[in-house]
Amino acid sequence: MECVFGLVGNGFAIVVADTSAVHSILVHKSNEDKIMVLDSHKLIAASGEPGDRVQFTEYIQKNVALYQFRNGIPLTTAAAANFTRGELATALRKNPYFVNVLLAGYDKETGPSLYYIDYIATMHKVDKGAFGYGSYFSLSMMDRHYHSGMSVEEAIDLVDKCIMEIRSRLVVAPPNFVIKIVDKDGARQYAWRESVKDAPVPSA
């Protein structure tokens, strides 16, 4: 029931994820951020089993930081994607992670890029990608409206169309989404699209 998707525009990459923490028929919270900032110019959006997702993305984040600490230079987006794929491939033969990943980044030499990595360690560099039940709708919307060289405004408009389609078509659609962007100025949160807010916990 998770929805994670992303696309590459003119000088930037955007990733979007639902924010629902769900188990069986229960929604535990609706503000779970599934997009982690790997370093100053990389984002990793993940879907899958909650424990695997959190543990694996934190493991990748700390190893990317360790590489930069040891060598004095950050990994490129392609190198980080290949490292992520390698760790999934190694785990696949021991204790597999059920995690699907979209890794977005920006490099001075090559510009923005987006990598699609699934739980069986298949990796592709893509212009647009999606995971989860929401992918049936977001991929069809992006196939129809996506074009190379999109501006930020065009990309956000397309993201909003995808979110609207998921909310209106998917019977178990998540209510809230977080949007993050990475460009020459770094990786950061761009916006939230909320239709449900978690109720505040009453004080004792």
DSSP codes of every residue in 115-132 = EEE-TT--EEEESEEEEE
Determine which of 21-30, 49-58, 117-126 has the lowest per-residue pLDDT on average. Answer: 21-30
pLDDT, one tens digit per residue, over 151-171 is 999 999 999 999 999 999 988
Q: What percent of the chain has pLDDT over 90?
A: 73
How many helical (H) and strand (E) elements, i.e. helices and strands, does the chain have? 4, 12
Whether the pLDDT of residue 108 is over 70: the answer is yes
| Per-residue confidence band for 131, with pLDDT thresholds at 50, 70 and 90 | very high
User: What whole-number distance in Å separates Cα of residue 158 and Cα of residue 128?
Assistant: 12
Q: What is the pTM of this model?
A: 0.90
Whether the pLDDT of residue 75 is over 80: the answer is yes
pLDDT, one tens digit per residue, over 26-74 is 888 888 899 999 988 999 999 999 899 999 999 999 999 999 999 999 9
Instruction: Look at residue 203 in the predicted model and tell me its pLDDT.
Output: 60
CB 176 within 8 A of CB 19: yes
Q: Which bin fits 71, alpha (ψ -120 to 50), beta or left (φ > 0)?
A: alpha
Angle (CA) 38-123-52 rounded to 5° is: 55
| Domain 4-194 CATH class label | alpha beta
Q: Which residue pairs, CB below 8 angstroms and at least 24 apart, start in 51-58?
A: 52/97, 52/98, 52/99, 53/99, 55/97, 56/87, 56/88, 56/97, 56/99, 57/99, 57/101
Instruction: Look at residue 28 in the predicted model and tell me its pLDDT.
Output: 87
Q: Tell me the pLDDT of the chain averaged across its residues.
A: 91
Instruction: Look at residue 154 in the predicted model and tell me its pLDDT.
Output: 95
